[in-house]
Amino acid sequence: MQRYDYLKAIAGDVGDALVVSAGWAAREWQALRSGDGNFRPRTLGLASSIALGIALGLPRRKVIVIDGDGAFLMNLCGLPTIAWQNPPNLIHLLFDNQCYEASGATETATVMGADAVALVKGAGYKHACWVKSPKGFREEFLKAWKRNKISFIAARVEQGQPVLPPIRVDELENKYRFIRHIEATEKKGILGPSDHRRR
């Protein structure tokens, strides 16, 4: 099973959640759940921290981060920070393909047994588990959604993805659309006026 098979299993269950995902997962997610509520960072490792910032800024909105093992390992120090803040609205998903796939597929440390669930539990997450199938993934995801406490769900996946259309939205457009989407759905102003008059 590939990551796409797992993401497909929950794509209909995320409502108006804001979703943060980087790398190839971002294209998969955009194909499965289109729209402007998806933010696609470009810094390896920072997706989980960006998602934490969004979750703290909008405490009543569900926020989902789709992490990969390479990114996850790069930002281990972000895990205790997330656990310390303990945002109830954050769901942290991890797809472990045991390699830096987008960077040429050399191995990551998970191939030698670094265990993401053990790592997040050690960092202070109370709810974390491995799942073995898209069906089990969906079940855990729905539990996490209802639990309303920070939850971590991890799956080992095969490398690869289906042929999908490229995303034709660059970083700036992604940012503006994402902010406008939050403004519209949360009914709040975020970006200031741009006409340089006194505010």
Q: Which residues of 80-96 are buried (b: 16+ CB within 10 A; e: fewer)?
A: eebbeeebebbbbbbbb
**Quick check: 169 binds another protein (CB under 8 A)?**
no
Using the minimum distance from each CB to another protein, give the nearer residue, 48 or 161: 48
Residues 24-83 that bind another protein (CB under 8 A): 39, 41-43, 45-58, 75, 77-78, 80-81
The least distance separating another protein from the CB of residue 17, rounded to whole angstroms, comes to 14
Instruction: Indicate the DSSP class of residue 166.
Output: P
CB 137 within 8 A of CB 153: yes
- CA–CA separation, 34 vs 28, rounded Å? 10
Instruction: Indicate the DSSP class of residue 13.
Output: G
**Quick check: 99 binds another protein (CB under 8 A)?**
no
Using the minimum distance from each CB to another protein, give the nearer residue, 11 or 56: 56
**Quick check: 158 binds another protein (CB under 8 A)?**
no
Q: Of the ranges 106-114, 124-132, 147-155, 166-174, which one interacts with another protein (CB under 8 A)?
A: 166-174
Q: Where are the beta strands (DSSP E) in the chain?
A: 18-21, 38-39, 63-68, 90-96, 99-100, 106-107, 127-131, 151-156
Number of residues that bind another protein (CB under 8 A): 37
The least distance separating another protein from the CB of residue 48, rounded to whole angstroms, comes to 8
Residues 124-153 that bind another protein (CB under 8 A): none
Using the minimum distance from each CB to another protein, give the nearer residue, 95 or 178: 178
The least distance separating another protein from the CB of residue 163, rounded to whole angstroms, comes to 27
The least distance separating another protein from the CB of residue 14, rounded to whole angstroms, comes to 18
- CA–CA separation, 111 vs 114, rounded Å? 7
Interacting residues with another protein (CB under 8 A): 20, 39, 41-43, 45-58, 75, 77-78, 80-81, 84-85, 171-172, 174-175, 178-179, 182, 188-190, 192
